[in-house]
Amino acid sequence: MKKWLFVFFTLCLGVLQISPLGALTPFNIKPDLLLIAALSAVFFFEFKYAFFLSVFCGLFKDVFLVYPLTLNTFLFALWSFVVFKAAKEISTENILVKIGVVFLVALLQNIITGIACSYAGLIPLGIYLRVVILGSIYTAAVSPLVFKLTKKILDR
């Protein structure tokens, strides 16, 4: 039951991410809520479910946003695997460690997707640099809220 609530929560985050509330965000940059949801699954669930949810989040993002091919599906699955392996080596109980992991993953995600989109001619370089830096910071700043909501879902 908790897993289905988390899937519904992830769908809500996905709809919120693709909603037309871009005018209300600073510098017209939104946090990557689906990436945070995928990483929350890695932190709070077993690997099989987290991997499934990461692929689901990547597909959701690829279907509804403009990105080349299935880049997000592949990258979200990769990040879930890498973070799961890294979580065995470091303690992810501390919220600051989780925020740092989210920042690093968001930075790498934005760099890779930005290079792919720039190469495909979808976004100019100036916008790419703004998204890489500010988008990663914004994603990391919003992540504690998603972690708290995930914890409330699990405590039900």
Residue ranges of domains in the chain: 2-19+27-155
pTM (predicted TM-score): 0.90
The pLDDT of residue 142 is 92
Return the CATH fold of 2-19+27-155.
Arp2/3 complex 21 kDa subunit ARPC3 (1.10.1760)
The pLDDT of residue 155 is 85
Cβ proximity of 138 and 103 under 8 Å: no
Residue 91 has pLDDT above 90, yes or no: no
Write out pLDDT tens, residues 42-72.
Answer: 999 999 999 999 999 999 988 887 666 678 8
Residue 23 has pLDDT above 60, yes or no: no
